[in-house]
Amino acid sequence: MAEVTLNDVRKVYAGGVEAVKGVSLDIPDGGFCVLVGPSGCGKSTLLRMVAGLETISSGQVAIGGRVVNEIEPAERDIAMVFQNYALYPHMSVYDNIAYGLRNRGTPKDEIDRRVQEAARILAIEPFLQRKPRALSGGQRQRVAMGRAIVRKPQVFLFDEPLSNLDAKLRVQMRVEIKKLQRALGVTSIYVTHDQVEAMTLSDKLVVMSGGQVEQVGTPTEVYRRP
């Protein structure tokens, strides 16, 4: 767990697109921050900079008080969940979840304990030996979350994780994500263009527009304003 702070963060892509124009934010330890705004407003770029998947043109990102700009992505203690799940199709669910721990050289019995624990929390124990193609969309999204929680990271990053699911599953998974985050208490940043998702999930809501922060507050504060 850790506080995440952004200080005047900017991104100019090669070619000159100014995707993020000086964003400063403070997400407290254990907080759930949702970035909401229309397509192209810079949400994903901002998230990817926190993840270390995109270089930061200027400004600073700090996790737990440590400036991460110069830390290799693999050494940042974060886990990211994407809309396309990014599961390995040739590996079983178990191996997909265990992958990150194996890469870090975690002992086998500890991997097993943690994979089983994540599978129990997400109710995917019956599917551990299946390949991703033999799962429904909702089950795949749970596996993707299993991969994130098994690492016990300091920070969760979510990039539109529910946008490929049908409306009913979206509601169900929304509730599950919130429960999970409360139970684990991991600082989370969640990107969406869906205002209902933003309202129900966030305790800190950040409305973005044109690469800048337009409003910040609790969901009630933000949506009460005229």
Q: Take residue 40 and report the two structure tokens written for it.
A: 């192209």
Q: Which of 40, 64, 100, 210 binds ligand ADP (CB under 6 A)?
A: 40
CA 70 – CA 145 distance, rounded (Å): 27
Binders of ligand ADP among residues 46 to 75 (CB under 6 A) are: 54-55
CA 71 – CA 57 distance, rounded (Å): 15
Judged by CB under 6 A, the stretch of 38-46, 75-83, 132-140, 166-174 that binds ligand ADP is: 38-46
Residue with tokens 């934010």: 25
Q: Which of 4, 32, 44, 115 binds ligand ADP (CB under 6 A)?
A: 44
Q: Which of 27, 43, 52, 97 binds ligand ADP (CB under 6 A)?
A: 43
Q: Which of 9, 27, 42, 76 binds ligand ADP (CB under 6 A)?
A: 42
Instruction: Return the closest-CA partner of residue 101 out of 156, 50, 154, 152.
Output: 152
Binders of ligand ADP among residues 184 to 203 (CB under 6 A) are: none
Answer whether 206's CB lies under 8 Å from 34's CB: yes
Report DSSP state, residue 43: H
CA 19 – CA 168 distance, rounded (Å): 33
Of 2 and 35, the one with the shorter C-beta distance to ligand ADP is 35
Taking CB under 6 A as the rule, does residue 19 contact ligand ADP?
yes
Q: Which of 5, 45, 154, 188 binds ligand ADP (CB under 6 A)?
A: 45
Q: Which amino acid is at 123?
A: A
Binding residues for ligand ADP, per CB under 6 A? 13-15, 17, 19, 37, 39-45, 54-55
